[in-house]
Amino acid sequence: MAKSNIFKGIAAALLVVLPITVYMSALAYDREGDINRFLGITAGADANSGAYASSYSSREELNAAQSEFQIATLAEGSVLLRNENNALPLTKTKVTLFGNAAVYTNFHGGSGGPANAGVSLLDALTEQGFEVNRTVYDKISAAGSRAKNRDICEVDPSIYSAADIGNYKDAAIVVFSRYGGEENDLELEDDYGVPELTLHERERNTLEFVKAQGFEKVIVLLNTGYVMEAGWIEDYADAALWIAFPGSYGMKGVAQLLNGKQNPSGRLVDIYAEDIFSSPSTVNWGNFAFADLPNSNYHHEYLVYAENIYNGYKYYETRYADLVQGKHNAGSIKGMKASTTNWNYADEVVYPFGYGLSYASFTTSFDSLSWDKTAHKVEAKVTVTNTHASVSAKHSVPLYVSLPYIEGGLEKSAIQLIGYEKTGLLAPGASEQLTIQVDDYLFASYDENANNGADPTKKGCYVFDEGDYVFAIGEDSHEALNNVLAKQGVTGLYDQDGNPVGGDASKARIETLAARDTTSHAKSAVTGEVICNRFQDVDINHLIPNAVQYMTRADWNSYPSRVEGLKADDDASGYIRQHMTATSSVYKKPADAPEVSAYKHSQEVTMMFAEMAKVPYDDQKWDAFLDQLKPTQLSAICGEKMANDAIESVGYPANTSLDGPDGLQAGGTLFPSETLSAATYSKELLKQRGELLAEDALYIGIGMVYGGGCNLHRSPYSGRNFEYYSEDAIVSYYAGRAQGEAMTRKGLLGAFKHFLANDQETNRHGVATFMTEQALRENTARAFEGALTDGAALANMGSYNRIGVIPTSSSKALMTDVLRKEWGFKGISITDSSKDAASYIFTADAIEAGTTLFNNDGKRADECRDLLIKNRDGYIWGKVREQAKNFFYAYAHSNVMNHFANGETTVEVKVPWWKPAVISINAVLGGLALLSVAGYAVFMILEKRKGKEAK
C-alpha cells in the first residue's frame, strides 16, 4: 500500500470522527447544565459548616431521618377510603398480592427528580412480619411491567390460579396504579380504548377472581398520584387506601398502616366523582385552537376556564346547596353524568373533598369562633376527643366558610376551606383543643366591578358582601356544608351515599356583616399596594364580547359546553392576533427610557458578595454592589444553565439548580408525591418536607430546586397532578407556605412552579389561558400566594402557557404588579426551560415584565448583553439591574453562603472537568487530522515525482 494512501486513510478516519466529536461537544456546551447533572457535578460547599449547616452529621443519618419522615407522611397522608367491618388493620399475616403494581409499583410520577425506585411493597411487608405468597408474586413479576403513559400494563388475570393461593388467604392485597407526568396527561382514551382513570377490564377481572377465592379480607391500594373513578371499590373491597406515589421509603409506612402500627389520618385533597367528566372544569380541558390562526407550534391554542370559580368540590357542593333549597335549576340535567333523572349529589360524588377514615373514632366540638374585623383574623377553637377504646391516632380539623350569596351577584362557593390544624397523637380517651387562625383575606371575594375602596380611581378589589358568614367544621366538605345548611334551617339534607342526614348546627357559627366592605382588602396587607383589576385581558369576554358564558350558580343550566372555534379576529382590537402570532419581541424601548450612563458599572470592588448576607432588600448597598459589575457580568446572570457561574471579581460562588419537586435530581432522595404530603393536612409534616429537601440539597450541593408545585388539579387527567398539592387553592396556600418557609430557612431556594395556570400538559407551550379575574385571583393565583408572599419562598418558576395571550414570564401584571408589588415577593423568577420556548418567550419582554433568569438557556445572556451594549437600552439596563439584585438577594439567603464558612470572601472559579477534556479531544483529533492530511500531501507529491522519475 502506498504511503500516501495510508496517510489519506488515517486522515479520512480522523476527519470522520472529528465532526462527530465537535457536534457532541457543541451539544454538551449547549446543555451544560444537563451534562453537569448527569455527571453529578454541582457547585456545593461543605454541608456541615457555614450559615446553613446541616442538622445531620452525615448523609446516612439524614437518610434515616428521611425514612422516618416518609413513614410518617404515608401514615398521615394516605387516605382510608373504605374500612368495612374494621377490615384494617390486618391481624393475620399470610397475604397474597395481586395487581401489576404490587410488584411494579410507581414510586414517582413521570417528572424531573430522582429515579422511580424505592423500598418494595414485598420488602416492606416482610419487614413488618407479613408472609407473602411468593408463587403469585413471582407470576406477576414474570408477566408484568411498570404502568406507563397510555398503558396501565395490568397483568392478564388468567395468570392467577386458585391452586396458587394455598393458605395465604388472610388477606388479598390488590394494588392498581396509574402513571402520567411531564408532557404526559393521562389519556381520555388509552391503549385499551377507555378513559385511563376508569377501572379497566383486566382490573375488574382481577377483582372478580379475588372475590371468588374466599379471602378473609380484600384490601385495595391505589398507587396513583391521580384521582381514579372509584365507585367500584364498595363492590369489591373490604378496605381501600389511597397511597399515591410513596417515594423511596414510603412503602414502609404503607406496611405499617396495614398492620396497624400506624393509623391513617389523611384527608382527600380532591373530590372523587363517580364520573370524572361530570366536573365542569373537565369540559374545557384539553386541545382547543383558534379557528383563524395558522397551525404553528405554540401560537394558536387556547383554554377557557368556563367553570369560573367552581373547580372541584366547589362545584358539586354549591350545586348541592342550591339543589336542596330548590334554587337556580340545580336539579337540571345539565352536567349530569351518573344521576338518572335529575342531577343528584349522591349519584355524582363518591368521596367528598376532605374525606378520610381512621382506625380510631373522634368527636369534635366547635368551642368558639371569633372574627376580628379590624385585625382581619378569624380564630376558631375546636376540641377533638379520641373516643376509641384502644387506638391512638392523630386527627385534623378543617375549617370551612359559606359566604353570603347575593342573587345574581358575585360568584360564591357554598362552602370553601379556609384553614386547618391537626392534633398530636391522641391516646384513647384523650382530648386536645386546636386553635385555627385564618387571615380573612383568604375568604374575601374578588369583585372586578367594585369601586376600589382604597383608590376610587381604580376598579376592582377584594370585598366582603353584607350578610351571614357561616363558619363550619366537618369531616369533609359535604358534612361541613350540611352543618352550614342545618344552621340555616335547611332541611332535606343527605350524605354522599344518599342517606338522609340532619346536619349538626352546633358545628357551625354565624357571623353577620351589616354592610358591604370594599376597603379591608383593597390594599395589600403586606405591601400597601392597591389591589385592583390587572387581568382584564385574561377574560376572553373583555376581548371578544360575549364569547363565552362562564358558569354561574345563578342558573346551573349555565354548566359549560366546549368553547370551540374561537376566532382571534373577532377581537376587533387585534390584541389577540398580535400577541399570539408574534415570533419576535413585542417590547419597544420607551421614549422616556433613561440613558445607559444613568447607571454606574465596572466600579472598583470594595464590597464582596459575602458581605451582603444580612443586607436588607431595600438597602442602597445593593446599588453599590451592582455598580461593581461589568455589563457582561450583569447580563450573564440571566442566562441560567441549571447553574450560574462564579463571579470572581465580587466573590460570588457558583450555584447549581436542579429539578424537583418530589426530590432532587442527581442523587437526591425520592419523596412521597406532593399531593400525598398535602393530604396529611399537617403543616408540621410539610415543614419537615421542606427542611429535608433542603438538607438533601446541602449534601448534593445545590442552591435552588425547581419546586414545589402549586398548580391546581383542574382535571384528574392532568399529568402532573401528583406533584401539585390539590384542586383547592387554600390547601396549596398553606402547604406551599409551610414548605417554602422551611426551605428558605434551611437555605434552599424553592422555585415554586409553574407560575401559573399550567393546569394541563396538553398544549402547555404557548396555550392562551382565559378566565375571569375572580377565578384567577381566588383559585389560580391563590394557590401560589402562600409560598410566594413576603419571604416564604425566594424563587418561582414560570409556566409555558400564556395568561390571556401574554406568556406568563412576560406578563408584567403577573410577574411584577401582583407577585412583587401586591405579594411582596423578593427573589428569583425563573422561566421554565426557555430554550424550548424561544419563539414566544422573548428576552426583552420577559426581563421588562420582571423575569430574573432564563432556565437552561445560556444564549439569553448574549441577547441580554446585546440589549445593554449594542442597543444601549437604559430602560432594560435598569430592569436587568433590578433582576440582578433579586438574584443576589435570593442567593445571599441560600446555602451558597456556606462557601464563606471560614470567613473568606473570595471564590475560586472552577471549570467542570469535562470541558477541558472535550476541548482537548477535539484539539488532538484536529491536530492528528492535519498531520495526516499533510503526510498524505507530502507522500503523494513524492510518489508522483518517483513515478515520473521511473517513467
Integer CA distances (angstroms), 793 to 628, 749, 752, in order: 28, 7, 8
Minimum CB–partner distance for residue 748 and another protein (Å): 22
Closest CA to 245 of 98, 115, 139: 115
Minimum CB–partner distance for residue 835 and another protein (Å): 8
Please identify, using beta-carbon distances, which residue of 789 and 801 lies nearer to another protein. 801
| 626 in Cβ contact with 649 (< 8 Å) | no
Q: Which residues contact 911 (CB under 8 A, 6 or more apart)?
A: none
| 753 in Cβ contact with 801 (< 8 Å) | no
Minimum CB–partner distance for residue 110 and another protein (Å): 5
Interface positions with another protein (CB under 8 A): 1-2, 5-6, 8-9, 11-13, 15-24, 26-27, 34, 110-112, 116, 148-150, 181-184, 296-298, 765, 833, 836, 933, 936-937, 940
Residues 732 and 270: their CA atoms lie apart, in Å, by 12
Minimum CB–partner distance for residue 352 and another protein (Å): 33
Please identify, using beta-carbon distances, which residue of 148 and 577 lies nearer to another protein. 148
Residues 680 and 262: their CA atoms lie apart, in Å, by 13
Minimum CB–partner distance for residue 739 and another protein (Å): 22
Q: Which residues pair with 383 in a beta bridge?
A: 365, 433
Please identify, using beta-carbon distances, which residue of 141 and 922 lies nearer to another protein. 922
Q: How many helices (H) and strands (E) does the chain have?
A: 26, 27
Cell of 525: 396587607
Q: What 3-state class would DSSP assign to 25? A: helix
- Residues making up the chain, counted from first to last: 951
Minimum CB–partner distance for residue 13 and another protein (Å): 5
Cell of 276: 370524572
Minimum CB–partner distance for residue 102 and another protein (Å): 21
Residues 686 and 691: their CA atoms lie apart, in Å, by 9
Please identify, using beta-carbon distances, which residue of 134 and 146 lies nearer to another protein. 146
Minimum CB–partner distance for residue 447 and another protein (Å): 40
Closest CA to 680 of 68, 69, 66, 78: 78
Minimum CB–partner distance for residue 619 and another protein (Å): 40
Minimum CB–partner distance for residue 846 and another protein (Å): 19
Rg of the chain taking only CA atoms, in angstroms: 30
Minimum CB–partner distance for residue 668 and another protein (Å): 14
Residue position matching grid coordinates 368551642? 367
Minimum CB–partner distance for residue 852 and another protein (Å): 22
Please identify, using beta-carbon distances, which residue of 725 and 840 lies nearer to another protein. 840
Max distance between CA atoms of the chain, in angstroms, equals: 120
**Backbone torsions φ then ψ of 647, nearest 5 degrees:** -115, 100
Residues 937 and 932: their CA atoms lie apart, in Å, by 9
Minimum CB–partner distance for residue 430 and another protein (Å): 46
Type of residue at 327: K
Residues 304 and 308: their CA atoms lie apart, in Å, by 9
| Residue-wise burial string across 398-429, b where 16 or more C-beta atoms lie within 10 A, e elsewhere | bbbbbbbbeeeebbbbbbbbbbbbbbeebeee
Minimum CB–partner distance for residue 244 and another protein (Å): 18
Please identify, using beta-carbon distances, which residue of 58 and 297 lies nearer to another protein. 297
Cell of 59: 448523609
Integer CA distances (angstroms), 405 to 408, 480, 559, in order: 8, 17, 18
Closest CA to 757 of 785, 788, 779: 779
| 736 in Cβ contact with 710 (< 8 Å) | yes
Minimum CB–partner distance for residue 677 and another protein (Å): 21
Residues 697 and 680: their CA atoms lie apart, in Å, by 24
| 568 in Cβ contact with 770 (< 8 Å) | no
Type of residue at 642: M
Please identify, using beta-carbon distances, which residue of 624 and 934 lies nearer to another protein. 934
Please identify, using beta-carbon distances, which residue of 468 and 836 lies nearer to another protein. 836
Residues 306 and 558: their CA atoms lie apart, in Å, by 10
Integer CA distances (angstroms), 814 to 37, 623, 933, in order: 31, 25, 60
Please identify, using beta-carbon distances, which residue of 2 and 430 lies nearer to another protein. 2
Please identify, using beta-carbon distances, which residue of 162 and 923 lies nearer to another protein. 923
Please identify, using beta-carbon distances, which residue of 5 and 161 lies nearer to another protein. 5
Please identify, using beta-carbon distances, which residue of 18 and 513 lies nearer to another protein. 18
Minimum CB–partner distance for residue 940 and another protein (Å): 6
Strands (E), 170-244: 171-178, 218-224, 239-242
| 350 in Cβ contact with 476 (< 8 Å) | no
Please identify, using beta-carbon distances, which residue of 115 and 162 lies nearer to another protein. 115
Please identify, using beta-carbon distances, which residue of 187 and 728 lies nearer to another protein. 187
Please identify, using beta-carbon distances, which residue of 6 and 586 lies nearer to another protein. 6
Please identify, using beta-carbon distances, which residue of 190 and 465 lies nearer to another protein. 190
Q: What 3-state class would DSSP assign to 90? A: coil
**Backbone torsions φ then ψ of 64, nearest 5 degrees:** -65, -40
